[in-house]
Amino acid sequence: MKKIIIAIVAVFAMSTAANAQLSGIGVRLGGGQGYGAELSTLWNFGNRVEIDLGWNSDEGYTGFSLTGIYQWQGEIGSGFGWFAGVGARLAYWNWEVTDDSDIALGLAGQAGLEYQFSAIPIQLSLDIRPCFWLLPDTDFHWGDIALGIRYTF
């Protein structure tokens, strides 16, 4: 069952990205929920999709996460904007000391504010991404506030 769900999420993410145009790449810091910093990409096709790859490796612990969020966005004015969205999160973690590892799947939400500089192609964002984990156990995590720094084109 887990493999089927993972395959469905992967196919959805790839098909969405295939119809979109990459418009930003950078990092998302502080919001990895134990998966560390995230490599962050923005894909535009009317609305947009944010796809982030998180990683963390520290003293016998290794974790990876892949998150895809479909976002609606709007302008506030003077370079400021807002965004909110929903999506999925796939994660893997491994504790080497206890030889314990697992794959997790969850539904994620995201809301935040962003600022696009007019003189340089840099975007800053501040957001929160709560997640409702479905596998291997059901659990809710409010998320952490994250700072995004992206080069936009």
Strand pairing category for 38-45 and 21-29? antiparallel
Domain parsing of the chain, residue ranges: 2-152
User: Rounded to 5 degrees, what angle do the CA atoms 58, 128, 149 make?
Assistant: 70
For domain 2-152, give its CATH number from 3.10.180.10, 3.30.1330.100, 3.40.630.10, 2.40.160.20: 2.40.160.20
Split at pLDDT 50, 70, 90, the class of 46 is confident
Give the chain's mean pLDDT. 87
For residue 148, the one-letter residue type is G
DSSP lists the bridge partners of residue 65 as: 54, 91
Asked if residue 20 has pLDDT above 70, the reply is no
Mean pLDDT of 18-25: 78
Which pLDDT score, from 0 to 100, does residue 57 have? 81
Which pLDDT score, from 0 to 100, does residue 77 have? 93
pTM: 0.82
Summarised one tens digit per residue, pLDDT across range 70-118 is: 999 999 999 999 999 999 999 998 888 788 888 999 999 999 999 999 9
Write the CA distances from 109 to 73, 74, 96, 136, 147, integer angstroms: 14, 17, 30, 19, 16
